[in-house]
A and B are shown apart, each in its own frame.
Chain A
């Protein structure tokens, strides 16, 4: 299953250090995301991706080579981002 940003054109990002401010101007909400969530959103900004691809990209950026161990954590973060109306499953 692939994930995508709910409305990539309507999301503005501002990164400082390891954190990311996300503004969704469809909802008007602003969110502060930590390091891992920020990388996931940045990845999905380019194109939709599944859990494994996202986990692999996250591992590459964080120089960590055990993708399988990261996949469950990516799942949790995606669920949280979905609850914030930032990401959705691709239909």
Chain B
């Protein structure tokens, strides 16, 4: 059953109690909240996601709540609770929906050690995945949002999950987090884009989330074969350009961007070795999204695959 099959009132009532179990790719999250902006964000951006009533197994149990203390009355705040415990310091109530998104990322990156987890956006076309590892500010999510609206399937804008036993990329399609100038860039690039309300003064600046395509949600169980590792860097005024990165260098850079490479020990090394060995790696500089799309469209999958 999809969330869009609930009326707005039904969704808000169920979210308040007993909550809903939301399926986002490989993960199920039991989510509860009585905060209106959380319900509004869920209703807008998660309408196409499958859900079920609570009961049975869920990977994560989270709730967003108002703190019950004096400060909370004078300056409204929100808490992200994981298994009933505070996972982070409270934030202003206006940031409740971004906090949910950040919290869900944290749930995965802190617990999903059945995968090699890389801080990277990832998109797919023709069964092949392009992994985009990059630090904040490099234009990773903007590029990901643009690609996901020009023929590539969104697997994730933040977390690339590489399965340890076979090296396949496991999708976790969720709303794409856009920051500051990127919000208007994507509004212009994707006419009709569905974006959440802009929330300003967060630790990352002004934030809005972009709704993923229905196709990426419907195909969330389709794994992808890694084919390209592309380190994006937005540079004003430059022409879009790929420059090959030697595999050994790519290995170290992707390991630096992985959440749990060291924790996985030998599994981490072997999974990373396979990923790098199967992929072509490039540095990619761009300034114009249309040029970037053309460069990605011209990518050819590596010749040999197992």
In the complex, B165 has a CB within 8 A of chain A:
no
CB neighbours of A20 from chain B (8 A):
248
Contact B265 A30 (CB under 8 A): no
Known: A14-B273, A16-B246. A21 touches B251 (CB 8 A): yes
Q: Which residues of A contact B247 (CB under 8 A)?
A: 16-17
Identify which of residues 257-274 in chain B touch chain A, using a CB-to-CB cut-off of 8 Å. 261-262, 265-266, 269-270, 273
| Binary CB contact string for chain A from 14 to 40 against chain B (1 if under 8 A, 0 otherwise) | 101101110101001010100000000
Query: Min CB distance, B251 to chain A, in Å?
Result: 5
Q: Which residues of A contact B26 (CB under 8 A)?
A: none
- Among B248, B266, B273, residue most surrounded by chain A Cβ atoms (within 10 Å): B248
Interface of A is mostly: strand
Chain B, interface SS category: helix
Whether A19 lies near B255 (C-beta < 8 A) is no
Does chain B have a CB within 8 A of A66? Answer: no
Contact mask for chain B residues 6-39; partner A; CB cutoff 8 A; 1 contact, 0 none: 0000000000000000000000000000000000
Task: Tell me if A60 counts as interface (CB < 8 A to partner B).
Answer: no
17 example contacts (A-B, Cβ-Cβ < 8 A) are as follows: A14-B273, A14-B277, A16-B277, A17-B246, A17-B247, A17-B248, A19-B246, A19-B249, A21-B251, A28-B265, A30-B251, A30-B252, A30-B261, A30-B269, A32-B249, A32-B251, A32-B252
Other than A17-B248, A32-B248, give 4 A-B pairs with Cβ distance below 8 A: A12-B266, A16-B277, A28-B262, A30-B252
- 3 A-B pairs with least C-beta separation: A19-B248, A16-B247, A23-B269
Q: Which residues of B contact A (CB under 8 A)?
A: 246-249, 251-252, 255, 261-262, 265-266, 269-270, 273, 276-277
